[in-house]
Copies of this chain bind each other. A is one copy, B any other.
Amino acid sequence: MTPPSRQALVPFVSVDHMMRLVLHVGIERMMVELTEAIEADFRRWPEFDKTPRVASHSEIGVIELMPTSDGQQYGFKYVNGHPSNTRQGLQTVTAFGVLADVSTGYPVLLSEMTILTALRTAATSAMAAKWLAPAGSTVMAMIGNGAQAEFQALAMKAVCGIEEVRLFDIDPAATAKCRANLAGRGLRVIPCASAEEAMLGAQIVTTCTADKQYATILTDNMVGSGVHINAVGGDCPGKTELAPAILHRAGIFVEYPPQTRIEGEIQQLDPNHPVTELWQVIAGQAPGRSDAAQVTLFDSVGFAIEDFSALRHIHRRLQGTGLYQDLDMIADPDDPRDLFGMICRAEAAVSAA
């Protein structure tokens, strides 16, 4: 049988290859690069096709497709969210994604994105903090010490210069896991007995908890002036982490308002409550933090452009590493009209073998 041509083969980055690529580049270096890649795409935000994610909801979870395109390349991510999965030893969130060439429609990359989503979410948080947190921030409170926590801590270290991370989780085992994973990575790691204790002296407060109900991880009186809040965990309808009073005090920055108003912390507010699109701050079209006393909030829910940036960066970074496997994914008859003939020739080859 004729082997498939180059264009018929799609490079696939497995979980193992993604881990090796991250280790090859270095996790902090990867965070810096991803932040730069996402920032470059936020700067040209108007060039992208944008649509809220396409969700299929069931009683116990959601499966979503997140497509976008810049006119040259097209990307989408498949991602699920099933909070009860952990009870069966499964991931709450798993993901994979595809990058394709708009001019032919042919995929050019298939990649695991469970790890890559963790990386890009942390890189996006660090990017927002770089633009919004008070100057000279060195201490971050990390409320919620689950799967995303270490990624957030290292991205904030690599991109924003955070030196101390103060950990709190309602489950001490999660805090212990996070502390152990962060040991020896150049951060002061302080386990705390309460959210209040974690927030002592923190200029940046990151919330990343997994409850799927209206929760109040932060109350108004916990948030001092000048703090930057990075709210990562509230990311679907009915799932929020902040008391509404905080939202009324804060300058609120979002990714894509039509999506954030449904999924983010601001679902608790009037649909006309003013928010600033983060890309506008980065592109110099809107002010960021107004003064040292302002409470700023990045109401992060995750947007398709971040996945697109991450896939493109991985695609570039793969070159020369061999950290992928070619998949025979695209049917490629010699004569494009002769798809059936390709099967006939396979038949002849199988018979002859």
Contact = CB atoms under 8 A, between A and B. Distances in A.
A147 B336 contact: yes
A91 B181 contact: no
Contacts of A350: 20, 23
A51 to B, nearest CB: 7
Interface string A114-140: 110010000000000000000000000
The copy count of this chain in the complex is 2
Contacts of A92: 336
A118 to B, nearest CB: 6
Given A174-B337, A336-B85, A336-B92, A103 B60 contact: yes
A156 to B, nearest CB: 14
A331 interface: yes
A105 B80 contact: yes
Interface stretch (A4-12, A36-44, A217-225): A4-12
A14 B115 contact: no
Interface residues of A, number: 84
Contact of A104 (B90, B150, B328): B90
A232 interface: no
A337 B146 contact: yes
Given A106-B90, A147-B338, A330-B114, A58 B82 contact: no
Contacts of A115: 331, 339, 343
Interface of A: 1, 4, 7-8, 12, 14-16, 19-20, 22-23, 27, 49, 51, 54, 56, 58, 60-63, 65, 67, 69, 71, 74, 76, 78, 80-82, 85-86, 88-92, 94, 96, 98, 100, 102-107, 112, 114-115, 118, 146-151, 174, 177, 180-181, 327-344, 346-347, 350
